[in-house]
């Protein structure tokens, strides 16, 4: 689409409008966050009108261009656009045929199966053969998606310094997304099954002396950031290795399973929202409705079995 002349003109106009707005505020690309993006969209809505579908196109373009800039500058992948989409389901699902639906999540049985499989990979002696360093990294990525509810962008950009793996069983291991938006984001406790998986990758990375600030880099030699497509393929491949139907599941499916499992354990919705970095009440309401439907289905199956 970007190669068509009319579309090129549209996207050129979108970028120039944003660039003018940023220059007026003397703002560098790496300073952009979800709050500033929200302000920009609000101004566009006030002065020019802005449908949710057009706002989605704006964020899609900005995410791609800023991603190239950050990569060229050796900076972590930008999160502003993705974080704003988490807050604004009206924009995120603007092109969806059914706005109210959540993307496909894992069933409770699938989530438990994956957690058990990942826990076994945390023990080198439990694995058949010797996995490659990429496989150990991929196991760690899935542990962060399912065990901490991190988005794909958050997993790829997570610095090693923001992961605390406790040495004592009495201490809680956490992922601390310091500096992300919104400011209410709090440390996310990790389940016990995920800690050995992450510790195994942490040890292997130290052994191989892999450089770079990201916890999960793309390459062993340079430690450059993990790309979106490569990460997506790695998630799909690892899900298939775990015996799950990878064509129906994504990294976001694991994040949704994390949220639903926390709500099922009666964790207060406000706390779950802070872990997820969600500020839009409608998102948590959809999670609550989905959980109620799953629990009703489970109760019916038990009664009729």
Domain coordinates of the chain in residue numbers? 5-92, 108-280
Q: How far apart are the first and last CA of the chain?
A: 52
* Residue 97 pLDDT: 41
Q: Which helix (H) or strand (E) covers residue 193, if one does?
A: none
Evaluate if residue 117 carries a pLDDT over 90.
yes
Evaluate if residue 110 carries a pLDDT over 60.
yes
- CA 36 to centroid of chain Cα atoms: 20
Helix, strand, or coil (residue 206): helix
pLDDT in tens, 247-292: 778 898 899 999 999 998 999 999 999 898 887 777 888 888 888 8
pLDDT in tens, 7-52: 577 778 888 889 899 999 888 888 888 889 989 988 888 777 777 7
* Residue 272 pLDDT: 92
What is the longest distance spanned by two Cα atoms in the chain?
66
Q: How far apart are CA 240 and CA 253, in angstroms?
A: 14
Dihedral sign computed on CA atoms, order 224, 227, 231, 237: negative
DSSP category for residue 191: P
CATH of 108-280, one of 1.10.443.10, 2.102.10.10, 3.40.190.150, 3.40.50.300: 1.10.443.10
Residues 252, 235: contact at Cβ < 8 Å? no
Mean of per-residue pLDDT scores for the chain: 83
User: What's phi and psi for 159, nearest 5 deg?
Assistant: -75, 150
Q: What's the predicted TM-score (pTM) here? A: 0.66
* Residue 268 pLDDT: 92
Token look-up 């959809």 returns 286
- DSSP β-bridge partners for residue 189: 174
Side-by-side strand order, sheet with 188-189: 163-164, 174-175, 188-189
188-189 and 174-175 strand pairing: antiparallel
């Amino acid at each position: 689409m970007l190669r068509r002349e009319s579309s090129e003109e549209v996207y050129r106009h979108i970028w120039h409008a944003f660039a003018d707005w940023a220059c007026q505020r003397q703002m560098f690309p790496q300073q952009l966050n979800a709050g500033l993006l929200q302000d920009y969209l609000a101004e566009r809505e006030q002065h020019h009108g802005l449908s949710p579908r057009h706002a989605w196109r704006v964020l899609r373009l900005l995410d791609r261009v800023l991603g190239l800039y950050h990569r060229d500058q050796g900076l972590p992948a930008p999160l502003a656009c993705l974080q704003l989409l988490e807050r604004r389901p009206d924009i995120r699902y603007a092109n969806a045929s059914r706005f109210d639906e959540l993307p496909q999540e894992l069933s409770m049985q699938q989530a438990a199966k994956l957690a058990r499989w990942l826990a076994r990979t945390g023990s080198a002696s439990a694995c058949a053969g010797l996995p490659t360093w990429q496989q150990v990294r991929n196991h760690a990525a899935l542990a962060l998606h399912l065990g901490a509810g991190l988005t794909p962008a958050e997993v790829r950009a997570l610095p090693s310094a923001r992961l605390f793996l406790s040495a004592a069983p009495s201490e809680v291991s956490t992922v601390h997304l310091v500096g992300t938006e919104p400011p209410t984001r709090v440390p996310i406790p990790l389940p016990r099954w995920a800690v050995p998986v992450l510790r195994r990758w942490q040890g292997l990375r130290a052994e191989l002396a892999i450089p770079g600030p990201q916890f999960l880099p793309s390459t062993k030699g340079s430690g450059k950031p993990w790309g979106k497509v490569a990460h997506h393929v790695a998630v799909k491949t690892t899900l298939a290795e775990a015996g799950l139907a990878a064509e129906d599941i994504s990294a976001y499916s694991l994040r949704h399973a994390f949220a639903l499992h926390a709500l099922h354990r009666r964790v207060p919705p406000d706390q779950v929202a802070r872990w997820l970095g969600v500020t839009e009440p409608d998102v948590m309401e959809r999670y609550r409705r989905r959980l109620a439907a799953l629990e009703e289905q489970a109760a019916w199956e038990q009664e009729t079995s």
